Every structure is written in structure tokens, then in C-alpha cells.
Amino acid sequence: MFGAILLGEECAAITFYSDPVESFLTSVFRLYEVFGCGQIIVFSSKTREAEASNAVNLLRNYVKNTEFSLYPIFPDPSDLNSFDGLSQTVYNVLRGISKDSRIVMATYTGSRLEVSATILAASRQRESVSLIYTPFFFGPWNNLFYPFTPKPLEPIAILHPSADDVRSIVKPSQILIEKQDLEKLLDNFVKPPLSRLRRGVAYTQYKINAEYATSSIIYPLDFRCRGLRITITVNKIPKIVAEARDYCNYDEVIELVHSLGSQIKKFNTIESEAGRAIELIAKFSGLIPLAVEECTYDCEKYKDVILTDFLSEIGAEALMDTNIFYTSLHMLLHESKINVKTPLCAYVELLGHVAHYKNPYEELRSAIASLILDEIRTLGLQIDENSSQRPCEIGIALAKGFAVTSDKKAFDDIFKFLNIKAVFTVPKPIKEVKLLRRENMRRIAYAYYAIAQFKTVVEMPEIAKALSKLGIEVRFE
């Protein structure tokens, strides 16, 4: 259950139940965390009353000491006759709020009709109405909600009247969730069920928020956080170190992830087994995401573009070589459900990697392969039975699908030679990767996700055990 929060009678929060639902949930938890309002009013459309009621009833089990009120009063936009008196209806609801309470309204969750009608009614009712806005960075965080998304990606911006005017009702505090309550919260609101890794990332991010993002993240009042240093040692000797002096500074976090990726790629050319292991973890965690390098046809304009943006542009049904699954494909698919198939040969090779290992590096690969198989099943990726022959490069070539590989030799000797339509991809440091839309926001979202996923992966017992045998330790400070 949530820890105690200093609640005040000075404010009442207003939000809207709308799509995406994770925006609504984020608004509830961020309003509760920052302002500690004793009352949260939820407006919804009449057509969504049942699901809104179910969500609010569930939230009552987690958000204690706060009164929830649901008003499903907004009509279907196609019913033009129902607009008459709508603002007055909202006004009548707001009259029930104590005149001593400041209204804090989340403007980013409702439809334009809902937000505009409520602002109009609230401004008639009182002068003390505060309008707040929170941008959503989404990216691989799709389908998750705060406090399981990075707090710096859910900042509160004061639209009206001003940040200084709102300062008096800010009561920042941390949301404390027991592990068993976390499981219930995710199970109740996130569909379909999460993979083991995705669930782990959500919980890891919750803990990172509590440890590093201790400010209220209200712009521009309170936006500075703790620093984060990541150190990778081999045989107790620091080999790779990267630092962000402020975890809430987007540029510094991107630089931290870029620096880690760059150092890891260089390190793998120096140290054989340890270098291979560290790069494997980095690729799988998204520290060095997949980007287009070369095609068997002219695709020069897509060079360095992140794989999922490239595949979305060309619209091809893609068959993934086994090596692609080890390079954060699952993370990219959390953002973009492109047409990706798992060749049967790749699925069989992954099963083999899980079952058979002879040394610590292969033991590490076995643990990661197990996570990949879970991701394939959870994401619902279709198995392509036509590509069954092994090695998998041959199976994909014979299936004559669009091939995606990170194996340069296979690309040159098989796909190029046989004139198979294919793309050769290379994991690259994050600042070297191009994104075709919302570039800045998505790069930021990917950087934060990579940190949380990297921490989740290296702290899994079976992976930590394999890394220890290789003399590798990862510290987050």
C-alpha cells in the first residue's frame, strides 16, 4: 500500500478518463504525489462509464486517504443536441467543491470538448483554478504508466496562473508501493500480461524514481535530481564508467547512455570473453540500439535509421535472423508493432542456446535466450514455419522473405550473393542513431528505458551469476 502523504484541504484535483488509459493513471498518481489533494474528481464520457467506474474503484484500493468522485456526464460528440447546458452541468458538479480549495486540473487527459467545457465552468465558479500539463514521451514505455515510467518523463508544467502561484499547494512526497501491490497494480491495468523482463523493468523504474528522482519535477520550480554513475568492472578493475550529474537532465542522460555504448563497443575489441559478454548485455538492454547500415538494394537514405522506423517505412514483412533477437528487438517492438516474424530456425536456435552451454559466456547467453523466448511469446510474434532450415541464414534465404541480420558475413555471402532482399543492421551508440519522427522525445525515452532495462537485466540472479563467473560487476551509484 502507499506510504503516508501529507494531505491538505487546500486543493481538489480534476482529471479525465480517456485514451490512452495510461495517461489517465499517470495523471492520478502524479497529482496525488505532487499536490496531495484530498479529493480527485474524474470526468468521463457516458459511453465509457462502466470502464471508468471499474478503474476508479480499483484505484481506491491503492490511493488511500483521498476521496474519488466519478462523473460520466460528457456526451457522445455525434449527439449535437446534448451539448446544450453541458457547461452548466459541469459547473453544478464543481459547486460541490469547497470554496477554500484550489482546483488543480490536468488538461492533458481529456478530449478537447471535456477540457474546454470544464475550464469554462471552473473559471465561472472561482478564480483559483490551476491548469497543469504533462507531456508524454512514450517510446518503449507504451502501455506503462507512472510510477512505473521515469518521473523525469512525466514533468508537470504549470499553464495557469504561474508556477509561483501554485507553489503554496505543492506537497511533494514519494509514492511507496509494496512488491505485492505493484504486481496487483500492473495486473489490473496493463493488458496483455507483461513478460518477466518487462515487469522487471517496470519495478526497477519505480525504484529508480524513488532513489534518483526525488524532486517533484514541476517545471520550472523543482526539476533537479540526484546524479547517476554506472561503473562496469572486470576482475575488480573499473573498465567502463559513465555519469549523469542530474538524472532529470535529458541531455546528460542521453550522454550517459551514449558514453556507455561507445565505451562498450571499444572495450569489446580489447578484451575477448569479458568484452563479448558486456557487449551482449549492452545490445540486449538497448544501450546500443539497432540501426540500418546497408541493404542488398538502394536504401542509402535510411542509413543509421533505427530498425523499426525503417521497417515501418518500407512496409515489408520481416524475417529476423537469430542475432537480431539478442539486440533489443523486443524493446523496439514495445513502441512499434511492425510486421515481424520469428523464423522457426531462429526459435529452434534460441531453444538450443537455453539448453546447452559449456562456459560462462554461453551460460550468460542461455539466460538471455530464455528472456528472448518469453518476449516472443508475450509479444505474440508469429512463427514462420517456412524458414526452418539451419543455419538460420539459409532458412531465411530459402523462405524468400525480407531478411534482417546483424551478421555481415551472412549478409555478404548469402543474402547479397543470392540476391535476397535484406538489410544489414549494426548496434550503435544512441546519439548516432536516427529516428524519423519525434526524434528528440523518442531518443530521450529510449535512453531512460535502456538504463532501467540494463539495471534489470544485470540484477537478475541467473545473469548476475554468469557475470560473476566472468569477473564482471556492474554498479549503479
Hey, what's the cell of 418?
A: 543470392
List, in sequence order, the alpha helices (H) in 400-458. 408-410, 439-458
Residue 274: left (phi > 0), alpha (psi -120 to 50), or beta? alpha
Q: Residue 67 in 3-state DSSP?
A: strand
Count of all residues that appear for the chain in the document? 477
Please state, in angstroms and rounded to a whole number, the distance separating the CA atoms of residues 158 and 15.
15
- The residues that bridge with 228 in the sheet, in sequence order, are 244
Going by their DSSP bridges, the two strands 228-234 and 102-106 should be labelled as unpaired
Domain limits, CATH 3.40.50.1010, in the chain: 228-476
What amino acid occupies position 185? L
Please state, in angstroms and rounded to a whole number, the distance separating the CA atoms of residues 320 and 404.
5
Q: What are phi and psi of 45, to 5 degrees?
A: -80, 160
pLDDT at 370: 98
pLDDT at 6: 38
Residues 6+ apart with CB under 8 A from 67: 38, 39, 40
pLDDT at 2: 37
pLDDT at 220: 72
Hey, what's the cell of 312?
A: 515501418
pLDDT at 82: 62
Q: What are phi and psi of 77, to 5 degrees?
A: -55, -20
Please, what's the largest Cα pairwise distance for the chain?
77
pLDDT at 173: 67
Please state, in angstroms and rounded to a whole number, the distance separating the CA atoms of residues 287 and 141.
15
Contact of 134 with 155, CB cutoff 8 Å: yes
Hey, what's the cell of 466?
A: 554468469
Tell how many helices (H) and how many strands (E) occur in the chain: 18, 16
HEC per residue, 80-105: HHHHCCHHHHHHHHHCCCCCCCEEEE
DSSP string, 258-289: HHHHHHHHHHTTT-SHHHHHHHHHHHHHTSS-
Please state, in angstroms and rounded to a whole number, the distance separating the CA atoms of residues 237 and 366.
26
pLDDT at 9: 44
- The residues that bridge with 131 in the sheet, in sequence order, are 105, 160
Residue owning grid cell 536516427 = 434
Structural class in CATH, domain 8-219: alpha beta
Domain limits, CATH 3.40.50.10770, in the chain: 8-219
Name the stretches of the chain with pLDDT < 50: 1-9
Exposure b/e, 387-404, CB count within 10 A at least 16 = b: bbbbebbebbbebebbbb
pLDDT tens-digit series, residues 64-98: 778 999 999 988 766 656 667 788 888 888 888 87
Residues 6+ apart with CB under 8 A from 217: 34, 151, 152, 154, 155, 156, 223, 225, 248
The contacts found for 232-236 with CB under 8 angstroms, 24 or more apart, are: 232/264, 232/278, 232/472, 232/473, 232/474, 232/475, 233/472, 233/473, 233/474, 233/475, 234/271, 234/274, 234/470, 234/471, 234/472, 235/471, 236/471, 236/473
Q: What are phi and psi of 296, to 5 degrees?
A: -80, 5
Residue owning grid cell 542530474 = 246
Closest CA to 131 of 170, 92, 103: 103
**pTM for the structure as a whole:** 0.93
CATH fold group of domain 228-476: Rossmann fold (3.40.50)
> Order of strands, edge to edge, in the sheet holding 156-160?
67-74, 37-45, 8-16, 102-106, 129-133, 156-160, 218-219
pLDDT at 83: 65
